[in-house]
Structures are given as structure tokens and as C-alpha cells.
A and B are shown apart, each in its own frame.
Chain A
Amino acid sequence: GEDVEQSLFLSVREGDSSVINCTYTDSSSTYLYWYKQEPGAGLQLLTYIFSNMDMKQDQRLTVLLNKKDKHLSLRIADTQTGDSAIYFCAESTAGGSYIPTFGRGTSLIVHP
């Protein structure tokens, strides 16, 4: 079945780059999403990538997809304290339910 795995915590210094990693199991055509959740709020869609792409860049965000290893990463350049949040990876797969499968979320802590 589908499974999405993320590490639970990441701590970085302000101004450094953050890299949040995710692995998924389904190898069919897939959309992969990154969501951000600030404390006490809902999830906000940050970006997504389709499985026929290797990379997508949007301002400070870069998504890299390694289809062979089923590995997705989100890189945040010049990380700011406002980037402190929980980041969720999610996968939506052709041929299955259209409901995305979510990882458990990675808590990003940015130190001044």
C-alpha cells in the first residue's frame, strides 16, 4: 500500500538552508505535495511536483524528486524564523484513491 515517511525534527540556524526529506512507496504516476502548518493553524499548500519532473523552483523553495529512489526533498534557502513550522509531504497516485496520503510531518525549528 501507499506509505509516506518523513523524519520528525529538523533544527537549523537562521540564514542557513533547510532540507526536509520524504520517501514514498508508490511508483505509478504521482503528484507529490508539500504543505506547511504553523502553530494552531491548518495546512497551507506550498508547492507540488508531478512525477515526470525532477525539480521545481519557486522563490526560496526548491523541490527535488528522485524517482528511482522514491525520494522527495524540499529545500528552503535563507531560512528565516518565520519558516518554523511543521512541513508535511503528501502523495496522490493514479489508479488509486485520489485522496492524498500524508507523512507524519517534519517540525522545522529555526534558531536565531
Chain B
Amino acid sequence: DGGITQSPKYLFRKEGQNVTLSCEQNLNHDAMYWYRQDPGQGLRLIYYSQIVNDFQKGDIAEGYSVSREKKESFPLTVTSAQKNPTAFYLCASSIGDILNSPLHFGNGTRLTVT
């Protein structure tokens, strides 16, 4: 079955440590995205990538970094510079640059930093 896999589902880190969240898709989609979800704030776009080896900042990119070395993979690193990293992180993918290109989401990673 095609889909998006995020791992791990739960992640715990100490303050000051960088942490990398994994996202893999086998849908052959060109575009991939990272969102952050906090209670009552909906989805906020962190980074997105339209094609391999290229990515763009979203609305809240500060304190995060990404890479897109392979079409299937779009890992997100939450750095120690992110002031409030505890949140639910969602990865998504889509066909790409066409109008009807709905996003397909993974099941999320809940990151807790203490």
C-alpha cells in the first residue's frame, strides 16, 4: 500500500539537543511538506520541497532545518534554536505543481522537549 510513514510516533528530548524526525513516502509524489500543529492553532507550514535538492521556508521556519536528497525522504531537524519545540509534527506529500493536488498526510510525530 502506498502512503507516508513518519517515525517515531513519540519522541522525547532534553532541551538543547537537536532532534531529527523522519518522513518517507512511496507515493511517487514530487512535493513534500512539514507542518506543526498546536492546540487551537491549526496547521502551520514549516518547510516544503517541490523537487529533490530544493526546499523553501514556510511560515515558521526559524529553528528548523530540512534536506531533500531523495524523492522519497524529507527529514526535519528541530534544532536547539527552536524556542518552543514541543508540538505535534505532520509530514505530507502531494503530486506537486498542479491545481488539484490534495495533500496526503502521515500519522504524525509528537515531540516533547523537557
Contact = CB atoms under 8 A, between A and B. Distances in A.
Interface string A86-97: 001010111000
Interface residues of B, number: 27
A42 B90 contact: yes
A104 B99 contact: no
Contacts of B106: 42
Given A88-B42, A102-B43, A42 B108 contact: yes
Nearest to B42: A104
B105 interface: yes
Contacts of A44: 105
A40 B33 contact: no
B48, B97, B100, B110 interface centre (most CB from chain A within 10 Å)? B100
Interface string A47-59: 0101000000000
Contacts of B2: none
A99 B100 contact: no
A48 B100 contact: yes
Interface of A: 8, 29, 31, 33, 35, 40-45, 48, 50, 88, 90, 92-94, 98-100, 102-105
Interface of B: 4, 6, 31, 33, 40-43, 45, 48, 90, 92, 94, 96-108, 110
